C-alpha cells in the first residue's frame, strides 16, 4: 500500500533476528520520535499476531550524481518491543499541541505510549491504528479510499507541499513540462513550421553576411588582381539582398507568432480556470484568492512572453551560433576550436549558476503570491478595515510580505550582477587572445587577412547568442516553474470524484441516512465522530449546537461537498458516492448564511440554478421569496446590476434573492444553513415566510442559531464536539433536560435579560 511507508531491507533484516518475517508484515509506518520524544528512526509494523516497534539509526551511503536521495545502507538497532495483538484492546492516536503519540489500551492494565511523532504524520498513524484495531476485531480492511494516495515524493522523499496534489517542486522534470507546453501548439503545427522556416532562413542570411561583407571585400576585391568595381557592386547587391530577405522573414515570423502565441495563452487560461471548476471545495478552502488569481494571470503571462520572445530568439540564436561555428571551422579550424572551447566553458558555468538560482525563484514566487493574497484580502475587506481604522496595520502587513519578496529578488539580482560580468570578462579575454593568435597566423602567411577579419566579425556576431544563452536559463526556470504550477492544477484530481458508472436519480424521495460518519478537514483532527442518523423524507430536521460543533460540516457532507473520512451517507438507500453529480446538485438545494451574488443583474442571479427559465418564472420565484417588492423599488428593477462594484444590497435582501434562486432550482432536499442568522426580527420574519413557501413536500435540514425558529421541526438533533448527543422533538428534549435544554435555557435567560 503506497500510502504507508515501505519497510527498508536493512530494517527487515533486523526484524528477522526477532522472528518477524517480511512476508508476514501487513502495514508499516515510520516515526521520527521514540516514546520519550527523542529524535530517532522508529518503524512500527504488525502481523496478524503481533505489533512490533523497532528503533535505531539509519545510515545512508554517499549521494551519487543524478540521485535525488541517498540509499539506506544499514540500520543500527537501539531497541525492539513486541506486543501480541491478543493482549491489546485497541490502539489510538493521542494528539498534543505540537506532537502526538500512539497509545496502546491493553486488555488488562493501564494504557501506555509506544511511539511519538510530529503532527505531519498524524493522518498516516490514524489509518495505521484503524487497521490494527480492525485486525484485532477480525474485521475486513478496506484500502480502496487510499488507492493512488502519496504523501511523500518517491524520488527525494520530501513531503508534498499539498498532500492532495502529488507534485514535488524539487523533482519536477522541466523537459517533460516543456514538451507538454509544446503540445498545446499542436493545432497550429503548420504555423509553427512556417515560423521555424522563416527563423532558419533569417539566420542563414545573418551568418552569410560576414562572408560577403568582409572576406570577399578584403580577399577578392581590395587586391591587386581583384575586379574592383564589378565585384564591389555584386558584393553590395548581395549584402542588401540578404538584409531585405532577413527583414521579410522577421516580419512573417513576428506576425505569425503574435497571432499563434496569444491563442495558446488564451487556451491555457481557459483550461486552468475550467480545471479549477472541476476541483472539490477543499481545494479552494485551502487556497488564498490572490494566489489562485496569480496562477491564472501572472503564470500564464510568463508562459506567453516565454513563447513570444524567448523561444523564437532561442531558435534564432541557436541556428546562428551553429552557422557561425560551421563557417569559422571552414575558415580556420585551429582558431575556431579554441573559441568553441571558450563558448562551451561559458555555457557550462552559466548553466550551473542558473541551476543554483531555481530555489530562489521558487521562494520569490511563493513570497509574491503571499503578498498578492494580502493585497486581495485587504481590498475585499475594506469595510472592516475602515471600521476598525486599521489602514496602517494592513499597510504594514503588505509591506512585510512585499519586503520579503523584495529581499529575495534583490538576492537573485545581486547574484546575477556579480556572476554574469565575470563570465563576459572571461569571454572577452578569450576573444582578445583569439585575435592575437589570428594576427600571428596572418603575419606568417598561414591565414588571409580577409579570413581573419571575417573570423573577428563572427566573434563579434557570437556575442549576441552567447549573451542570450547566459540569461535564458533565468527565463527558462521561471517559465517552467510557472508551467509546473499550472499543470499542478490541470493534473489535479478532485478529492470528491464522481463514480465511473453513477446512479441516475431524476428525483429524490428525500430519505437520508448517516451510518457511523467520521470526517476530518485536517489529518488526525476529526470534526465529525461516528455520527449515525436517519432523516425521513418530507420532514423537517433541525440541527442545533454551539458554534464549532460540526453542524455545517454535517450538511456539507450530506450535499457531498466533501467526502466522509469514514462511514457512509445514503440518500434513498444509495450511497452518495455513487449518485451522479448532476442529480446531486439538481435535487439538493442550499440556502446559506453567507450569500454570494455574482456580477450581473438580479434576474441573472435568481436564474443562476437554471439559466433557461422565463422571466415570468423569475418574478414568481421572487414573489414567493418576498423579494419582488424591494426589487421593483430599485432603479432598474430586475435588470439592476449587483455584485462587486454595483448596487449594494442589505443582508436580508441578498438572502431573499438566494431563496428565490433555490425556488427556481425546485430541490427535493432543502438545506438551510443559518439562513436567518444576524437578521433583525422584521427581516427574519420575511425570510422565514419565504422559507415556509419552500417547505411543502420537501425534506428540510435546517441549522439555526435561534432555537425558536426550529421549535416546529419534526426532529431536532443536538451536535456537540462532532458527536450526536440527542435527538427528539422540542418537547421531548425539553422534558429530557439534557444538552438541548441547556442551550434553550441559555437563550431563554438571555432573552429575559434583554426584556428586563
535 in the same domain as 478: no
Q: Looking at the domain assignment, is residue 60 inside a domain?
A: yes
Query: Is the pLDDT confidence value at 740 over 80?
Result: yes
Joined grid coordinates for residue 189 = 503545427
280 in the same domain as 138: no
Query: Is the pLDDT confidence value at 749 over 80?
Result: no
The predicted model gives 255-262 an average pLDDT of 78
The predicted model gives 319-339 an average pLDDT of 81
Query: Is the pLDDT confidence value at 755 over 50?
Result: no
227 in the same domain as 132: no
Among 126, 146, 166, identify where a domain stops. Answer: 146
Q: Looking at the domain assignment, is residue 477 inside a domain?
A: yes
The pLDDT score that the predictor gives to residue 753 is 43
Cβ contact 89:68 at 8 Å: no
The kind and range of the H/E element at 310 are none
The kind and range of the H/E element at 719 are strand 715-720
Give the model confidence (pLDDT) of 271-289 as tens digits: 777 777 777 666 666 555 5
290 in the same domain as 437: yes
The predicted model gives 578-598 an average pLDDT of 84
Greater confidence (145 vs 625) lies with: 625
Greater confidence (129 vs 691) lies with: 129
Query: Is the pLDDT confidence value at 250 over 50?
Result: yes
Cβ contact 18:47 at 8 Å: no
Q: Looking at the domain assignment, is residue 558 inside a domain?
A: yes
Count the neighbouring beta carbons within 10 Å of the beta carbon of residue 225: 6
How far apart CA 563 and CA 566 sit, in angstroms, is 9
Burial 414-431 (b: 16+ CB within 10 A, else e): eebeebbeebeeebeebb
DSSP symbol at 159: B
Q: Looking at the domain assignment, is residue 152 inside a domain?
A: no
Q: Which of 552, 544, 571, 579 is nearest to 704 (CA)?
A: 544
586 in the same domain as 461: no
180 in the same domain as 130: no
Q: Looking at the domain assignment, is residue 155 inside a domain?
A: no
The pLDDT score that the predictor gives to residue 570 is 94
345 in the same domain as 374: yes
The predicted model gives 618-623 an average pLDDT of 88
Give the model confidence (pLDDT) of 425-442 as tens digits: 777 787 778 778 878 887
Report the CATH number that the domain containing residue 602 is assigned in CATH. 3.40.50.300
Q: How confident is the model at residue 562 (pLDDT cuts 50, 70, 90)?
A: confident
The pLDDT score that the predictor gives to residue 199 is 76
Query: Is the pLDDT confidence value at 569 over 90?
Result: yes
Among 438, 461, 491, identify where a domain stops. Answer: 491
How far apart CA 463 and CA 448 sit, in angstroms, is 23
DSSP symbol at 579: B
Burial of 160 by CB count in 10 Å (0-12 exposed, 13-18 middle, 19+ buried)?
middle
Cβ contact 679:511 at 8 Å: no
- The most confident of the ranges 10-24, 340-354, 500-514 is 500-514
427 in the same domain as 394: yes
408 in the same domain as 262: yes
278 in the same domain as 135: no
Query: Is the pLDDT confidence value at 605 over 70?
Result: yes
Count the neighbouring beta carbons within 10 Å of the beta carbon of residue 661: 24
Give the model confidence (pLDDT) of 661-700 as tens digits: 888 888 889 888 876 655 566 666 766 776 676 677 789 8
Report the CATH number that the domain containing residue 229 is assigned in CATH. 1.20.1560.10
Comparing 144-153, 476-485, 572-581, 732-741, the range with the smallest average pLDDT is 144-153
How far apart CA 506 and CA 262 sit, in angstroms, is 43
- Number of domains composing the chain: 3
The pLDDT score that the predictor gives to residue 577 is 92
Report the CATH number that the domain containing residue 13 is assigned in CATH. 2.30.29.30
Q: Looking at the domain assignment, is residue 154 inside a domain?
A: no
Cβ contact 579:503 at 8 Å: yes
The predicted model gives 504-508 an average pLDDT of 90
For helices 289-305 and 333-380, give the axis angle rounded to 10 degrees.
150
Give the model confidence (pLDDT) of 178-227 as tens digits: 777 777 777 777 877 787 788 778 777 777 766 666 666 655 666 666 55
CA distances from 593 to 35, 201, 286, 596 (A): 46, 65, 20, 9
Total residue length of the chain: 756
Q: Looking at the domain assignment, is residue 156 inside a domain?
A: no
285 in the same domain as 399: yes
The pLDDT score that the predictor gives to residue 2 is 52
Average pLDDT, the chain: 78
Q: How confident is the model at residue 533 (pLDDT cuts 50, 70, 90)?
A: very high
Beta-carbon contacts of 716 under 8 Å, excluding residues fewer than 6 positions away, are: 541, 542, 543, 544, 710, 726, 727, 728, 729, 730, 733, 740
Q: Could you list the residue range(s) of the whole structural domain that residue 87 is in? A: 9-146
Among 491, 524, 546, identify where a domain stops. Answer: 491
Greater confidence (492 vs 632) lies with: 632
Q: How confident is the model at residue 756 (pLDDT cuts 50, 70, 90)?
A: very low
Q: Looking at the domain assignment, is residue 383 inside a domain?
A: yes
Which residue blocks in 73-173 are alpha helix, DSSP H?
122-136
The predicted model gives 455-461 an average pLDDT of 76
SS (H, E, C) 483-548: HHHHHHHHHCCCCCCCCCCCECCCCCCCCEEEEEEEEEEECCEEEEEEEEEEECCCCEEEEECCCC
The pLDDT score that the predictor gives to residue 225 is 62
185 in the same domain as 43: no
Q: How confident is the model at residue 534 (pLDDT cuts 50, 70, 90)?
A: very high
Give the model confidence (pLDDT) of 55-108 as tens digits: 888 776 555 555 555 555 678 888 898 999 999 999 988 877 667 888 999 988
Amino acid at each position: 500500500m503506497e500510502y504507508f511507508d515501505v519497510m527498508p531491507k536493512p530494517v527487515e533484516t533486523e526484524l528477522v533476528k526477532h522472528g518477524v518475517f517480511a512476508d508476514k508484515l501487513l502495514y508499516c509506518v515510520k516515526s521520527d520520535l521514540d516514546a520519550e520524544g527523542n529524535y530517532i528512526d522508529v518503524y512500527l509494523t504488525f502481523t496478524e499476531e503481533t505489533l512490533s516497534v523497532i528503533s535505531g539509526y539509519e545510515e545512508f551511503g554517499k549521494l551519487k550524481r543524478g540521485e535525488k536521495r541517498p540509499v539506506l545502507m544499514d540500520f543500527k538497532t537501539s531497541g525492539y518491543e513486541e506486543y501480541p495483538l491478543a493482549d491489546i484492546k485497541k490502539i489510538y492516536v493521542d494528539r498534543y499541541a505540537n506532537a502526538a503519540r500512539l497509545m496502546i489500551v491493553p486488555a488488562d492494565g493501564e494504557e501506555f505510549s509506544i511511539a511519538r511523532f510530529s503532527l505531519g504524520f498524524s493522518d498516516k498513524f490514524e489509518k495505521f491504528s484503524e487497521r490494527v484495531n480492525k485486525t484485532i476485531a477480525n474485521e475486513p480492511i478496506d484500502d480502496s479510499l487510499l488507492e493512488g494516495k502519496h504523501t511523500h515524493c518517491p524520488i527525494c522523499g520530501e513531503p508534498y507541499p499539498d498532500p492532495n496534489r502529488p507534485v514535488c517542486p524539487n523533482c519536477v522534470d522541466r523537459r517533460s513540462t516543456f514538451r507538454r507546453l509544446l503540445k498545446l501548439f499542436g493545432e497550429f503545427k503548420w504555423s509553427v513550421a512556417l515560423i521555424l522556416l522563416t527563423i532558419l532562413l533569417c539566420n542563414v542570411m545573418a551568418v552569410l553576411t560576414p562572408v560577403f561583407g568582409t572576406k570577399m571585400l578584403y580577399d577578392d576585391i581590395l587586391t591587386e588582381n581583384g575586379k574592383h568595381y564589378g565585384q564591389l557592386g555584386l558584393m553590395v547587391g548581395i549584402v542588401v539582398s540578404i538584409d531585405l530577405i532577413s527583414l521579410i522573414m522577421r516580419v512573417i515570423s513576428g506576425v505569425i507568432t503574435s497571432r499563434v502565441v496569444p491563442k495558446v495563452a488564451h487556451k491555457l487560461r481557459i483550461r486552468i480556470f475550467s480545471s479549477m471548476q472541476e476541483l472539490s471545495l477543499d481545494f479552494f478552502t485551502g487556497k488564498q484568492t490572490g494566489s489562485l488569481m496569480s496562477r491564472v494571470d501572472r503564470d500564464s503571462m510568463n508562459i506567453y512572453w516565454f513563447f513570444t520572445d524567448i523561444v523564437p530568439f532561442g531558435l534564432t540564436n541557436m541556428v546562428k551560433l551553429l552557422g557561425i561555428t560551421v563557417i569559422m571551422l571552414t575558415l580556420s579550424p585551429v582558431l575556431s576550436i579554441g573559441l568553441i572551447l571558450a563558448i562551451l566553458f561559458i555555457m557550462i558555468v552559466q548553466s550551473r549558476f542558473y541551476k543554483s538560482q531555481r530555489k530562489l525563484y521558487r521562494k520569490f514566487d511563493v513570497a509574491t503570491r503571499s503578498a498578492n493574497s494580502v493585497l486581495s484580502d485587504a481590498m475585499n475587506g475594506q469595510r472592516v478595515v475602515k471600521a476598525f481604522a486599521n489602514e496602517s496595520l494592513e499597510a504594514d502587513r503588505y509591506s512585510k510580505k512585499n519586503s520579503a519578496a523584495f529581499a529575495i529578488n534583490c538576492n537573485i539580482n545581486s547574484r546575477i550582477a556579480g556572476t554574469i560580468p565575470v563570465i563576459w570578462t572571461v569571454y572577452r579575454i578569450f576573444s582578445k587572445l583569439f585575435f592575437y593568435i589570428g594576427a600571428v597566423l596572418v603575419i606568417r602567411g598561414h591565414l588571409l587577412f580577409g579570413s581573419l577579419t571575417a573570423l573577428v566579425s563572427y566573434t563579434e556576431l557570437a556575442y549576441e547568442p552567447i549573451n542570450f544563452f547566459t540569461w535564458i536559463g533565468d527565463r527558462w526556470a521561471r517559465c517552467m516553474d510557472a508551467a509546473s504550477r499550472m499543470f499542478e492544477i490541470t493534473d489535479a484530481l478532485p478529492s470528491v470524484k464522481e463514480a465511473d458508472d453513477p446512479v441516475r436519480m431524476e428525483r429524490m424521495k428525500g430519505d437520508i441516512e448517516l451510518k457511523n460518519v467520521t470526517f476530518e478537514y485536517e489529518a488526525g483532527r476529526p470534526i465529525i465522530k461516528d455520527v449515525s442518523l436517519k432523516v425521513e423524507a418530507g420532514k423537517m430536521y433541525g440541527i442545533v449546537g454551539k458554534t464549532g460543533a460540526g453542524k455545517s460540516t454535517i450538511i456539507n457532507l450530506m450535499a457531498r461537498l466533501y467526502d466522509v473520512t469514514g462511514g457512509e451517507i445514503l440518500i434513498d438507500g444509495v450511497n452518495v458516492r455513487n449518485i451522479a453529480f448532476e442529480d446531486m446538485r439538481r435535487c439538493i438545494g442550499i440556502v446559506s448564511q453567507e450569500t454570494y451574488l455574482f456580477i450581473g443583474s438580479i434576474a441573472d442571479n435568481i436564474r443562476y440554478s437554471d439559466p433557461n427559465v422565463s422571466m415570468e418564472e423569475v418574478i414568481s420565484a421572487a414573489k414567493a421569496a418576498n423579494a419582488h417588492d424591494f426589487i421593483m423599488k430599485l432603479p432598474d428593477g430586475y435588470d439592476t446590476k449587483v455584485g462587486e462594484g454595483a448596487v449594494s444590497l442589505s443582508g436580508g435582501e441578498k438572502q431573499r434573492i438566494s431563496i428565490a434562486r433555490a425556488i427556481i432550482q425546485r430541490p427535493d432536499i432543502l438545506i438551510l444553513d443559518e439562513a436567518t442568522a444576524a437578521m433583525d426580527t422584521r427581516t427574519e420574519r420575511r425570510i422565514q415566510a419565504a422559507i415556509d413557501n419552500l417547505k411543502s413536500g420537501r425534506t428540510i435540514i435546517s441549522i439555526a442559531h435561534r432555537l425558536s425558529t426550529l421549535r416546529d421541526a419534526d426532529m431536532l438533533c443536538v451536535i456537540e464536539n462532532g458527536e450526536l448527543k440527542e435527538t427528539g422533538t422540542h418537547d421531548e428534549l425539553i422534558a429530557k433536560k439534557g444538552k438541548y435544554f441547556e442551550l434553550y435555557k441559555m437563550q431563554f435567560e438571555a432573552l429575559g435579560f434583554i426584556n428586563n
